[in-house]
Amino acid sequence: MNTEKTIKPFSIVIFGASGNLTSLKLIPALFELYHRGMLGKEFAIFGLARRPMTDQQFHEKLFDDVKNADKCGFAKPETWDEFCQHIHYVSGDGNDPSTFETLKSRLAALPFNNGKLGNCLFYCSVKPELFPDIAANISSSGLGSSSNPDEFRRLIIEKPFGFDLASARKLNEELSRHFQENQIYRIDHYLGKETVQNILALRFANRIFESVWNKDHLDHIQISVCEKVDVGERAGYYDQSGALRDMVQNHIMQLVSLVAMEEPKSLNANDIRNEKVKVIKAIRPVCENNCCCSVVTGQYTGGKIDDKDIVGYLDAPGVPKDSTTETFTAFRMYVDTPTMKDVPIYIRTGKALGKKTTEIGLFFKTVTNKLFDQACCPNGFNSLILRIQPNDGVSVNFFTRKTSQICLEPRELNFYYPDACPSPIPSAYEKLLHDALLGDQTLFIRSDETEAAWEFISPLIDSIKEKQKIPQPYEPGSFGPAKSDELMACGGRQWRN
Ligand code: BG6
């Protein structure tokens, strides 16, 4: 829920403005918001990076990337020129206090600030090691807070929020020395996706779903985040991270928390986040005792996806030949809450797989009567599938009688989001930047959420390391190693591909 109704005049300062995130995500999102009249007219965007550049050169660099963004804003190129009048460049270093003095004079010179520093949103699009220094410099320069209670100063940071539990705690502690928790916006772009936001509405506004969304009716849940892309040019980062840190600790934990949480008291940011934290804290440590419990890790080999050649992970530039970093993982977990206790939740994510798809599947227990012959159905479960991306939507799968037979056959009711929403669905970054400007923290991660997620993931990663588990090779274009299917098969289940 938004805490402020309208956007006040503001400045956004982007640290690391010469990077891809700025030109591929942040500027297109801000441009789209501007085009739709959602930023007002009194605002400034300051891109800050080390290399010297004029405003004009910065605009040209951004334009080269932004023009390829598939957004309606570009239907009117003159809007871009108008928008650029709000974009400025500052050459400087987030580590250097003098940069912040320059920034202050640029902020004070803005016509709508009347000599003051005004409302500021600081966006750290830089390596996480730099977050604490930037936060400290913002604070010591006097930019971190304002004596005017109507003025805001907020800090947005991008994942990773730490590398393990200890470093996540340290980061939270360092940031808290300079900013209050209600000023810190930890971005997880999955929370900005419309279909992810819809999970709560689907659950708590629909009795037909909520009444069966529990351990009495659910056989199991599947959460699959499959990507067709390989690690590409990100090997340097990815090899230090792997699927568990890159996808599970953040995006997938967020999906788990929304799917398993109890009804929040209200849609207030803290009520929702309180319930999410309870779920993450209630995750049972993943056991490794038998094949049904084991954690599968995989690494893609060389091969092809469609007609495209894929270089095997170990041959990707920047990856050590003996790397054991997982590009795929699958495991079964449980959330010990009153609603979900003992419902198996199967997680699967990986790179260079056969299909890009993010889906949450709820599979319901089979009916106990034997009136109809379920044996002729390929899969005996009713299911509710939330398609997060692509083909955003929801489908309900059930059985009907096969004409003139006692046999049943599966049928599907399908809701496709874009059919119901004629205007384009806002991108995750549009939604999140707009919320941060309004002071709404609902879709941002609180410090205790990130620590709780590490409390679960860190021991899992450590146990894989201790056991010196070698990831299973898998072919690009497949759905991961065979062991992932075995994990399902031993529970009498199968992945929905
Ligand atoms: C990022 C990960 O957070 O999410 C990437 O670092 C991954 O490795 C990306 O590719 C996936 O995002 P999306 O929105 O394409 O599912």
pLDDT of res. 406 = 73
Count of beta carbons in the 10 Å neighbourhood of residue 482: 14
pLDDT of residue 485: 96
Q: Is the dihedral of CA 188, 432, 152, 50 positive or negative?
A: positive
Q: Quick one: pLDDT band at residue 402, thresholds 50, 70, 90?
A: confident
Contact present, 497 and 479 (Cβ < 8 Å): yes
Q: What is the average per-residue pLDDT within 271-300?
A: 86
**Number of neighbours of residue 258 by Cβ within 10 angstroms:** 23
Place of tokens 């939604």: 431
- Identify which has the larger pLDDT, 420 or 440: 440
359-366 average pLDDT score: 96
User: What mean pLDDT is predicted for residues 92-116?
Assistant: 94
Q: Is 218 helix (H, G, I), strand (E, B) or coil?
A: strand
Among residues 254, 204, 209, the alpha carbon closest in space to that of 383 is found at 209
Ligand 1: which residues within 6 Å by Cβ? 227, 246, 358
Report d(CA 267, CA 257) in Å as an integer: 15
HSE-CB for 273 with a 13 A CA cutoff:
21
Whole-angstrom distance, CA of residue 224 vs CA of residue 266: 29
pLDDT reading at 1 higher than 70: no
Residue 143, C-beta contacts closer than 8 angstroms, at least 6 positions apart: 100, 103, 104, 107, 117, 120, 122, 153
Q: How far away, in angstroms, is 24 Cα from ligand 1 center? A: 13
Q: Where do we find the tokens 């274009």?
A: 477
Residue nearest to atom 2 of ligand 1 (CA): 246
Beta-bridge partner residues of 89: 47
Judged against a pLDDT cut of 50, whether residue 61 lies above it is answered with yes
Question: Locate tokens 């006040």: which residue?
Answer: 8
- On the question of pLDDT at 289 being above 90, the answer is no
What is the model's pLDDT at position 290? 55
Which residues are part of the catalytic machinery?
A: 251
Res 2: pLDDT: 46
For atom 9 of ligand 1, the residue with the nearest CA is 247
β-pair partners for 412: 397
Among the residue ranges 81-85, 285-289, 308-312, 400-404, the one predicted with the least confidence is 285-289
pLDDT at 75 over 90: no
pLDDT score, position 424: 79
* Pocket test residue of 186, 224, 237, 247 for ligand 1, highest count of atoms within 8 A of CB: 247
Query: Considering the entire predicted model, what is its pTM?
Result: 0.94
Please give the pLDDT value at position 78: 79
| 170-179, 210-219, 364-373: range with lowest mean pLDDT | 364-373
Rounded mean pLDDT, 295-299: 95
Note the pLDDT of residue 249. 97
Segment 450-462, tens digit of pLDDT:
999 999 999 999 9
Which range, of 21-25, 74-78, 111-115, 170-174, averages the lowest pLDDT? 74-78
Span 185-205, pLDDT tens digits: 999 999 999 999 999 999 999
Q: By C-alpha distance, which of 439, 438, 433 is closest to 6?
A: 438
Closest CA relative to residue 490, chosen from 368, 382, 346, 374: 346
Report pLDDT digits (tens) over 385-397. Answer: 999 999 999 999 9
The ligand 1 atom at the shortest distance from the C-alpha of residue 251 is 3
Q: In angstroms, what is the span from residue 158 Cα to ligand 1's centroid?
A: 12
Looking at the CA of residue 225, tell me the nearest atom of ligand 1.
16
Q: Is the pLDDT of residue 12 over 90?
A: yes
Closest atom of ligand 1 to 193 CA is 14
CA of 246 from ligand 1 middle (Å) equals: 8
Is a pLDDT exceeding 70 seen at residue 72? no
pLDDT at 71 over 90: no
Which protein residue has the closest C-alpha to ligand 1 atom 14? 190
Give the pLDDT band of residue 487 (cuts 50, 70, 90): very high
Average pLDDT over residues 10-25: 94
- 227 has pLDDT over 70: yes
Share of the chain above pLDDT 90, in %: 79
Distance CA 23, CA 21 (A): 6
447: pLDDT strictly greater than 90: yes
Residue holding tokens 């109507």?
150
Look at residue 20 and tell me whether its pLDDT is greater than 70: yes
- The answer on pLDDT for 445 being more than 80 is yes
Amino acid at 415: F
pLDDT average, residue stretch 394-414 = 87
